[in-house]
Structure 1
């Protein structure tokens, strides 16, 4: 063997060693290779697949008067698919990226013929640098608050109720046709979005009660700005993590807005139609940090304050993955059917959640641990006399990190009725218990 051949062999072995180290870093939570095919040796161009599925087993105390297939029910247990997503990310050059995502949402016993595998996201993005990138298409890129874009590693069983409260009104499954710019300037990151909101055809305008207008709304302007005091967060996707389970040390302060001209309308006392702008503002603070890396313990906390102005006395009741089909008007409360509750309206909303991971069951494998959490939403809405208070308490079993987890959640919600003297008083409270399993693939 010549000296030249020997040196070449050492170089090849060194490259293979480096390659194996890179491969080791690209394992997912199941310790399997990522579903990514690289298009060049530098691994700056690639095509990747990812997705997830969420299965719910649930027991719900239904709102008064709830009907399931015209039969009165006070409670129900059911199985459902809360979300199924399949995503492809294609990066043919270092600066260009294309994202295509499909899926279905809220496949429950009442959705036999209404759930399809829909096109959700289809957008392209061109990154001039880390400081500025431009994108356009149909996506969840939007502003306002940390959780407005939808779920990613939620600390509890789902997002807080207020977070995507315009879903189905000005968007489709939290998606709009939009153009956006985003970037990261040191510890500061930003996103600004200009979108065409969907028109929500609702009732004719009501006296002193704002509703979404049947007329064409203005553009949807939104933005979110954030400063990272500790570790910076990834902004390659529109989603923000609800917990890192101690894998990062994050303290970030954010602020955002969402504005649509003439999104709403109402009538004054003389029955004149008045157009109203939708004006929402929020500030939030997120903290996630390890306590003991060897034991796997961590803490996660999130606080948010939001002011919403939809016009006079606007309020929206939403039942997530609603198991009921209708409601008996003679017995109905303001909540309506099933598990509906007031989630947003003109007024102020505050939210707090706290949780963290407990020590690993097996320190060597480091893939089995518990993550308890609690959350509370409090809203002071103009249309209701009593404040809206929604409680959540849950615990997750992380079997393979956040990629395979089982979550049990207990949620308590208020029931609202009108009295002879006051509008919107709490007359009762109901429970919902959810056992959720989520599995990710990437």
Structure 2
């Protein structure tokens, strides 16, 4: 929704609103609670996956300001004031608040709470044009830890030179994992703490986060006013983009080796950061990807969308993190509800494919776009004995496009691994109906 403030439209204000609502059946991971001492094997639940707004103003062709606000992941169990135990009154918070200056046609500089990420195209994804029902979340390895919901406070530069697009940023790492101490990196028995050899986020991290993503478009150029990359153009553009990105944060993680043995005394308890030695680990995250989205037949308006990405994550020894989007499980157990291994030290490959069917398949207005997606991850911290246990997630679904991305309904089936017992991984079904309206 755009309001022109000058006759030629060069000065304007713009408002964007969107909401995504889930109706979902989930077979929960083993041991999931739905409330205090209330086990629940499965349920049908409802939730708000995202409800957001963006306010943008450009009063001079060289200056841009925008603010992005909203909520995420609210259901009857979580997402509220106490996210892991209360679904009520979710925090309506700032996702982005950016000021930007256009230096020339090749370079723009900005500052604030920004979404100019590195690693991959999906780490910069628009949530309004996702082809699959949702993102795999592996594309956001630091979400809500050293960042604020995949956003950062810092500065960035972006631009395009011919067919080459770039974005780089330098940001502060948010203080995180503040309850952790070197003793938390060990197991205590009989007054002796022994290191586990498992890394975690370093609560003393005060180093900058450096990111970059670089891509080359072989066909048409993509819009770059906003940081958000398109999930599918629904046959309106011909795009073939290859890219690569990174994130580097010095001493972001810390750990204690299994050879670290410390007698727990009052002096150690008083200041374990000074008395217990730890190892610091740089966080280095890399990605390389390709996006192919082209119309196939102009008469029937069919189109194909293909995307693939390879991630290499170094987050310290044996680190693994579990995440479940809009988790239906109660409490703080990492493997509750629909949680899966989302990130960790190791590698991931993710691919998706979609086909926009002929325009009259469902009549003159609605369009149908079936898709499939597959994620495979291998993390050194997920082992049965000496053997790594791979993470395999399959999504199959379809978009019913009533007005493109502005009004659509998505039905998605997920085949999800339950890692409650790494020695006996089971697979659970998850069926979700999502409605989206975007203005």
Normalising TM by the smaller chain, what interval? 0.7 to 0.9
The counterpart of 1:84, out of the listed 51, 60, 74, is: 51
1:34-60: CA deviation from partner (whole Å, max 9, x where unpaired) = x21112222211111112110110010
Structure 2 counterpart of 1:142: 117
The counterpart of 1:396, out of the listed 396, 399, 408, is: 399
Residue 426 and residue 351 in structure 1: after superposition, are their counterparts in 2 closer, same or farther (change >3 A)? farther
Residue 323 and residue 38 in structure 1: after superposition, are their counterparts in 2 closer, same or farther (change >3 A)? same
The counterpart of 1:370, out of the listed 368, 371, 379, is: 368
Residue 426 and residue 254 in structure 1: after superposition, are their counterparts in 2 closer, same or farther (change >3 A)? farther
Structure 1 counterpart of 2:22: 56
Residue 426 and residue 223 in structure 1: after superposition, are their counterparts in 2 closer, same or farther (change >3 A)? farther
Q: What displacement does 1:114 show? A: 4.9
Q: What displacement does 1:425 show? A: 3.6
> Aligned to 1:231, what secondary structure does the other structure show?
coil
1:82-113: CA deviation from partner (whole Å, max 9, x where unpaired) = 10111111001010000012111111112333
Q: How many residues were matched structurally?
A: 395
Q: Contact 1:305 / 1:350 at 8 angstroms: preserved in 2?
A: yes
Structure-to-structure mapping, 1:11-50, within 5 angstroms: 35-50=1-16
Structure 1 counterpart of 2:243: 254
Worse-matched range after superposition: 199-208 or 235-244: 199-208
1:290-319: CA deviation from partner (whole Å, max 9, x where unpaired) = 011221210000010110000111101001
Q: Give distance in 1, aligned partners of 2:310 and 2:128.
A: 20
Structure 2 counterpart of 1:310: 315
Structure-to-structure mapping, 1:278-297, within 5 angstroms: 278-297=283-302
Q: Contact 2:401 / 2:409 at 8 angstroms: preserved in 1?
A: yes
Structure-to-structure mapping, 1:320-399, within 5 angstroms: 320-326=325-331, 336-361=335-360, 365=364, 367-384=365-382, 385-399=388-402
Structure 2 counterpart of 1:218: 207
Q: What displacement does 1:162 show? A: 0.6
Structure 2 counterpart of 1:276: 281
Q: What displacement does 1:152 show? A: 3.7
Q: Give distance in 1, aligned partners of 2:380 and 2:245.
A: 22
Residue 128 and residue 380 in structure 1: after superposition, are their counterparts in 2 closer, same or farther (change >3 A)? same
> Aligned to 2:185, what secondary structure does the other structure show?
coil
1:362-410: CA deviation from partner (whole Å, max 9, x where unpaired) = 7995x41100000000111111221111100000100001110000000
Matched, 1:119 2:85: no
1:165-213: CA deviation from partner (whole Å, max 9, x where unpaired) = 3211111221111210000000000000111121221533342111111
Q: Contact 2:361 / 2:368 at 8 angstroms: preserved in 1?
A: no
Structure 1 counterpart of 2:129: 153
Q: Give distance in 1, aligned partners of 2:437 and 2:424.
A: 37
1:107-131: CA deviation from partner (whole Å, max 9, x where unpaired) = 1112333502222211100011220
Worse-matched range after superposition: 197-206 or 100-109: 197-206
The counterpart of 1:176, out of the listed 141, 152, 155, is: 152
Matched, 1:93 2:60: yes
Q: Contact 1:44 / 1:94 at 8 angstroms: preserved in 2?
A: yes
Matched, 1:167 2:143: yes
Structure 2 counterpart of 1:429: 427
What are the ranges of 5 or more consecutive residues in structure 2 without an aligned counterpart? 81-86, 187-195, 261-276, 383-387
Q: Contact 2:76 / 2:88 at 8 angstroms: preserved in 1?
A: no
Q: What displacement does 1:360 show? A: 1.3
Residue 41 and residue 83 in structure 1: after superposition, are their counterparts in 2 closer, same or farther (change >3 A)? same
Q: What displacement does 1:264 show? A: 0.4
Q: Contact 1:157 / 1:409 at 8 angstroms: preserved in 2?
A: yes
Q: Contact 2:29 / 2:420 at 8 angstroms: preserved in 1?
A: no
The counterpart of 2:35, out of the listed 50, 54, 69, is: 69
Q: Give distance in 1, aligned partners of 2:366 and 2:150.
A: 32
Residue 362 and residue 62 in structure 1: after superposition, are their counterparts in 2 closer, same or farther (change >3 A)? closer
What are the ranges of 5 or more consecutive residues in structure 1 without an aligned counterpart? 1-34, 419-423
Residue 58 and residue 326 in structure 1: after superposition, are their counterparts in 2 closer, same or farther (change >3 A)? same
Residue 324 and residue 246 in structure 1: after superposition, are their counterparts in 2 closer, same or farther (change >3 A)? same
> Aligned to 2:90, what secondary structure does the other structure show?
coil
Structure 2 counterpart of 1:6: none
Q: Aligned-residue CA RMSD in angstroms?
A: 1.6
Larger Rg: 1
